[in-house]
Chain A
């Protein structure tokens, strides 16, 4: 079991969701977050005064998948979230030691 976390541009969320469904991902958790990477922030101007906004809005998706499905999930994420411009986001994969369905107590792949 792997936990895949992806940070993507907010306007790509719908495309990413469809692509992940297409790749067989069973569930996604989405949060609205702010942050910066190599893209940095942006500037906003209010009545002529420029402000640097360091943290830009992003969407974080989290999903747990079978080890075998990691590559196609990553491919789906990259395919849908990429614009080719700086600030497209990141994906990272970590081990998920246990996964438990709260209602039934099922564990492992049964719980996905």
Chain B
């Protein structure tokens, strides 16, 4: 294996960029909850950086990228055994040969493993016990995340071999987290008073700040996934920017028409929806396709906001409407817009002469990811709920997570 210094530098920097997205997410969500729960939200996100880093290095990475199995990794790389010295990771040969040190790949992928379960916190906001949260995401980071990452990211994984494309984690991160979020809230139940009581965001400036951090970090997420400092990375980066921009604009247009005002929360939400959608597509599409992908997803996500009231599940901060629906939209739109002129290792979508074949593979990967994540997460949440209980007591919910879970107050009077 030849190590490319430019590629290595970019992936190392990208790892730091992706790490920064988790505190960004914390503020994105933290601004949207009520002030008595803001520390609870920040804590759940920041703690994922602690817990999952350790789990990834000890076992998660090995389960995701070890061995040559189609469905599961193995334990060869537990405690990162031999990773610093091996010439190539399993499956990463020929066209997929890495030009960065495997340890750079380990730490880069670690940041994805951290933010993915952190995304769930937006759905479970204001009512989950911190202890139950820690166990849930710990189990999730060992059982669910590495498995889906193996299926989709590893060249040995079955969905990868089926030809499903996922450049930076539309399925692995967004569909995966969105499905898990839905499963947990079905066990957890609604916030007391929802939807009768108003629960408006307590600090939208935090949410805008968080959006800026997420957007910034997303360049590492998507362009870093080129695993090289090259034209593909540049393509992924501009695609990321354009989809965020068009997602924002599309959301604001439909919001202005349907609700009367263009809001800051709408601008933030639309940008994130666009970023979610471009994630699987970033290194496979070109031209003005990212503008279409971001805009379509912005519209669709906005229209899906009402699903939760229609079906009565309290997805508090719209993880399902933005990440699950946005991830699905991105995965399927890739089946239309993928272009081998942009990336020869990809495929041609419906609009580029490839027929419906890729679209079918994208649908398969989306459904498989959703089903696996939903079922396993539901079972884990059910077991936790039957043993330690995953929900705070009514009194503690009333007092807020900040005081009841952490004995702190965010804003001193």
Contact = CB atoms under 8 A, between A and B. Distances in A.
Contacts of B201: 46
Which of under 10, 10 to 19, 20 to 34, or 35 or more describes the interface residues of B?
10 to 19
Contacts of A29: none
A50 B263 CA distance: 12
A97 interface: no
A50 B261 CA distance: 12
A106 B211 CA distance: 58
A43 to B, nearest CB: 9
Nearest to A52: B198
Contacts of A53: 198, 200
Contacts of A46: 200-201, 263, 265
A48 B259 contact: yes
A30 to B, nearest CB: 18
A51 B302 contact: no
B263 A45 contact: yes
A47 B198 contact: no
Contacts of A52: 198
Interface string A34-69: 000000000011111111110000000000000000
A44 B201 CA distance: 11
Nearest to B260: A45
Contacts of A51: 198, 200
B57 interface: no
A47 B266 contact: yes
A8 B17 CA distance: 48
A48 B200 contact: no
B166 interface: no
B301 to A, nearest CB: 10
Interface in B369-389: none
Nearest to A51: B198
Interface in B240-275: 255, 258-261, 263, 265-266, 269
A51 B259 CA distance: 12
A47 B272 CA distance: 13
A50 B305 CA distance: 12
Contacts of B305: 47-49
B259 A45 contact: yes
Given A52-B198, A53-B198, A47 B318 contact: yes
Nearest to B269: A47
Contacts of B195: 49
B49 to A, nearest CB: 27
B308 to A, nearest CB: 10
Interface in B147-202: 195, 198, 200-201
B5 interface: no
Contacts of A48: 255, 258-259, 302, 305-306
A46 B317 CA distance: 10
Nearest to B201: A46
B265 A47 contact: yes
Interface in B308-324: 309, 318
Interface string B203-233: 0000000000000000000000000000000
Contacts of B265: 46-47
**Which of B195, B198, B255, B309 has the most chain A CB atoms closer than 10 A to its own CB?**
B198
Nearest to B259: A45
**Which of A46, A47, A48, A53 has the most chain B CB atoms closer than 10 A to its own CB?**
A47
Contacts of B198: 51-53
A91 to B, nearest CB: 29
A58 to B, nearest CB: 19
Contacts of B269: 47
Interface in B274-318: 302, 305-306, 309, 318
A45 B262 CA distance: 10
Interface in B387-406: none
B126 to A, nearest CB: 15
A44 B265 CA distance: 12
A51 B258 CA distance: 15
A84 to B, nearest CB: 25
Nearest to B321: A47
B401 to A, nearest CB: 20
A68 B260 CA distance: 50
B346 to A, nearest CB: 34
17 contacts: A44-B200, A45-B260, A45-B261, A46-B201, A46-B263, A47-B265, A47-B266, A47-B269, A47-B305, A47-B318, A48-B305, A48-B306, A49-B195, A49-B305, A49-B309, A50-B259, A53-B198
List 6 A-B pairs, minimum CB-CB distance, nearest first: A51-B198, A45-B259, A48-B305, A47-B305, A48-B259, A51-B200
Interface of A: 44-53
Given A45-B261, A48-B305, 10 more contacts: A45-B259, A45-B263, A46-B201, A47-B266, A47-B305, A48-B258, A48-B259, A48-B302, A49-B195, A50-B259
